[in-house]
């Protein structure tokens, strides 16, 4: 049975909850705001299904396929501008919905908590647009996806790299009618920290929140902003370099413990397609660069290659170099480094207010800046 001793050994994918035949596993939130499985030993029969499909302790036999990298952007300007990068995911959704399929992805609920939902219309798929820099709750969507697959419906399931690995292990077989899309992930921040930040900013503007956007392009794709709109008509907007929550996130200050040792990166989750921002494209393909955003698409399987052909007429594509793309977005193959200030941050956060605590811990010393720069230069040379 699942027995979480070290918190870095659980990515919170809900796979164990979904697979348990006797509903004896529930998820409990810890004092950092992350959920972990709790087993009811009175109900457990010791079948070990939960342990056998856990993505942090099990590996999947890797698909034999040479990854095909593309720089991509939607030909529809409206889709491109309203998306995090090039808007290609919306085109993938359109094909699935047109063929009466189901799309699963991360969306805000009415409390601006992030959870996985299913969509059978493009109106619902609109909820998937834009990045959500907080961990999404999978809930029972693995079970729902399996049900649709068994009924013969076309299913597209998107999620972080560990969520897709969890899904593939949960299913325990390959479905020809399933397309998996993993979103290349920097790591997932604490839902508790995000909740506290929402309350902080709502109090400052004396109003309830009606809209949150993590990747607004008012100031450009590369200089994206965190934006909040309020019921009283007021608006908050700041670039990712200045917004307090984004600074803490990008400094890896309050990520889930498993994110620093992710076992789903480097194409170890068997996704059909990987989706990311194509950072640094202006240095490689200046003519293709677009300030409205460019997606990096990695085709990881024969099924993914066949599926991608269905949307080629709706997107602009350019062959690119995988090693270069990895050098500019290393989270494709490796997790972020552990922030040694993390434990002290959470200890202090429990005693003090969030704003002062984040401000105190996001200041980077000159030594740290030099070390980070050297790591970046070494990675570029490596690839």
Note if the pTM is more than 0.75. yes
The structure tokens listed for 249 are 């996130």
**Domain encompassing residue 247:** 63-383
Are 68 and 13 in the same domain?
Answer: no
Region 246-257: mean pLDDT is 97
Total count of domains within the chain = 2
Are 287 and 370 in the same domain?
Answer: yes
* 236 vs 358: CA distance, rounded Å: 18
Half-sphere exposure of 138 (CA within 13 A, CB side): 32
Q: Which residue has the tokens 């949150």?
A: 212
57 lies in some domain:
no
Q: Is the pLDDT of residue 372 over 60?
A: no
272 phi, psi to nearest 5 deg: -80, -35
pLDDT tens column, 36-63: 999 999 999 999 999 999 999 999 988 8
Are 366 and 217 in the same domain?
Answer: yes
Are 200 and 276 in the same domain?
Answer: yes
For 92, 115, 158, 173, 268, the CA distances from 13, given in Å and listed in that order, are 23, 12, 13, 18, 15
58 lies in some domain:
no
> pLDDT class for 238, splitting at 50, 70, 90?
very high
Residues 6+ apart with CB under 8 A from 338: 252, 260
* 136 vs 134: CA distance, rounded Å: 6
For the chain, the first-to-last Cα distance in angstroms comes to 41
**What are the counts of helices (DSSP H) followed by strands (DSSP E) for the chain?**
15, 13
> Running DSSP on this structure, what letter comes out for residue 206?
T
- Work out whether strand 155-160 and strand 178-183 pair parallel, antiparallel, or are unpaired: parallel
pLDDT tens column, 158-195: 999 999 999 999 999 999 999 999 999 999 999 999 99
301 lies in some domain:
yes
Closest among 76, 95, 108 to 156, alpha carbons compared: 95
Q: Is the pLDDT of residue 20 over 70?
A: yes
CATH number at residue 24: 3.30.70
Strand, coil or helix: 108 = strand
């Amino acid at each position: 049975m699942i027995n979480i001793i070290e918190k870095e050994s659980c990515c919170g994918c809900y796979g164990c909850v979904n697979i348990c035949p006797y509903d004896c596993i529930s998820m409990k939130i810890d004092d950092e705001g992350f959920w972990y499985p709790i087993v009811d030993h009175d109900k457990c029969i010791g079948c070990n299904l939960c342990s056998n499909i856990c993505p942090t302790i099990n590996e999947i036999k890797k698909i034999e396929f040479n990854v095909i990298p593309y720089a991509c952007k939607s030909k529809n300007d409206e889709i491109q501008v309203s998306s995090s990068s090039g808007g290609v995911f919306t085109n993938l959704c359109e094909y699935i919905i047109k063929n009466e399929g189901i799309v699963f992805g991360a969306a805000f609920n009415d409390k601006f908590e992030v959870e996985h939902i299913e969509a059978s219309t493009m109106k619902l798929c609109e909820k998937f647009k834009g990045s959500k820099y907080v961990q999404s709750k999978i809930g029972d969507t693995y079970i729902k996806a399996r049900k649709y697959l068994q009924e013969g419906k076309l299913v597209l399931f998107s999620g972080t790299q560990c969520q897709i690995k969890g899904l593939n292990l949960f299913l325990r077989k390959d479905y020809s009618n399933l397309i998996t899309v993993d979103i290349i992930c920097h790591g997932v921040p604490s839902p508790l920290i995000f909740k506290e930040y929402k309350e902080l900013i709502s109090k400052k503007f004396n109003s309830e929140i009606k809209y949150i956007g993590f990747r607004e392009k008012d100031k450009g794709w590369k200089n994206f902003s965190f934006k909040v709109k309020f019921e009283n008509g007021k608006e908050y907007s700041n670039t990712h370099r200045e917004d307090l929550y984004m600074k803490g996130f990008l400094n890896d200050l309050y990520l889930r413990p498993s994110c620093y040792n992710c076992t789903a990166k480097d194409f170890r989750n068997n996704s059909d397609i990987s989706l990311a921002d194509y950072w640094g494209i202006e240095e490689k393909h200046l003519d293709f660069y677009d300030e409205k955003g460019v997606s990096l698409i990695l085709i990881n399987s024969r099924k993914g290659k066949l599926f991608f052909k269905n949307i080629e007429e709706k997107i602009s594509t350019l062959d690119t170099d995988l090693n270069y793309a990895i050098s500019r977005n290393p989270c494709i193959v490796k997790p972020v480094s552990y922030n040694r200030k993390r434990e002290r941050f959470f200890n202090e956060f429990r005693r003090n207010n969030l704003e002062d605590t984040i401000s105190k811990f996001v200041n980077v010393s000159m030594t740290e800046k030099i070390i980070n720069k050297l790591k970046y230069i070494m990675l570029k040379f490596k690839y």
